[in-house]
Amino acid sequence: MTIDGLVERPGSYDLTDILAEMTVEERIYRLRCVEAWSMVVPWNGFELADLLAMAGVKDDARYVAFETALRPDEMPGTKYPGIDWPYVEGLRLDEALHPLTIMATGLYGKPLPNQNGAPLRLVVPWKYGYKSIKSVVRITLTKDRPPTTWNRISPREYGFFSNVNPEVDHPRWSQASERRIGGGLFSRKVPTLMFNGYEDEVAALYEGMDLAKHH
Which range of residues forms the domain containing residue 38? Answer: 2-204
pLDDT, position 72: 63
Please answer whether residues 110 and 55 qualify as being in contact, where contact means their C-beta atoms are separated by less than 8 angstroms.
Answer: no
Would 211 be classed as within a structural domain?
no
CA–CA distance, 140 with 6 (Å, rounded to integer):
7
Would 213 be classed as within a structural domain?
no
pLDDT, position 75: 61
**Total domain count, the chain:** 1
pLDDT, position 133: 97
List pLDDT tens digits, range 66-118. Answer: 999 866 666 666 666 667 778 899 999 999 999 999 999 999 999 999 889 99
CA–CA distance, 44 with 208 (Å, rounded to integer):
33
Task: Report the predicted TM-score, pTM, of the whole model to 2 decimal places.
Answer: 0.94
The low-confidence residues of the chain, meaning pLDDT below 70, are 70-82, 185
Please answer whether residues 110 and 41 qualify as being in contact, where contact means their C-beta atoms are separated by less than 8 angstroms.
Answer: no
CATH number, domain at 60? Answer: 3.90.420.10
Please answer whether residues 64 and 52 qualify as being in contact, where contact means their C-beta atoms are separated by less than 8 angstroms.
Answer: yes
pLDDT, position 84: 76
pLDDT, position 187: 80
pLDDT, position 71: 66
Would 82 be classed as within a structural domain?
yes
Would 118 be classed as within a structural domain?
yes
Residues 6+ apart with CB under 8 A from 26: 42, 43, 44, 109
SS3 assignment, position 206 = helix
Would 43 be classed as within a structural domain?
yes
